[in-house]
């Protein structure tokens, strides 16, 4: 995942903390939506975002 896409996803999570992945994806364009899953996985692996037990995504 490119650093640009990871930063873009992180900004989206920071602007909308506490939302589920589905809620976050609804706010994106079709192009961004197609890349968001991979970018979100990359954020979790790099520990820049965390997911709680309810599936809500928070910036780390």
In the chain, where are the structural domains located?
Answer: 3-59
Residues 21-56: tens digit of each pLDDT: 999 999 999 999 999 999 999 999 999 999 999 999
pLDDT at residue 1, rounded to an integer: 80
| The residue to which tokens 């780390």 are assigned | 60
Alpha-carbon distance of 14 to 12, in angstroms, equals: 5
Query: With contact defined as beta carbons under 8 Å apart, do 6 and 43 qualify?
Result: yes
From 24, 22, 23, select the one nearest 11 (Cα to Cα): 24
Alpha-carbon distance of 60 to 58, in angstroms, equals: 6
pLDDT at residue 59, rounded to an integer: 95
Single pTM value for the model: 0.86
């Amino acid at each position: 995942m490119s650093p640009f896409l990871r930063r873009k996803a992180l900004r989206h999570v920071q602007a909308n903390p506490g939302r589920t992945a589905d809620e976050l994806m609804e706010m994106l364009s079709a192009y961004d939506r197609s890349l968001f899953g991979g970018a979100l996985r990359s954020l979790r692996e790099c520990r820049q975002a965390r997911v709680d037990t309810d599936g809500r995504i928070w910036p780390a």
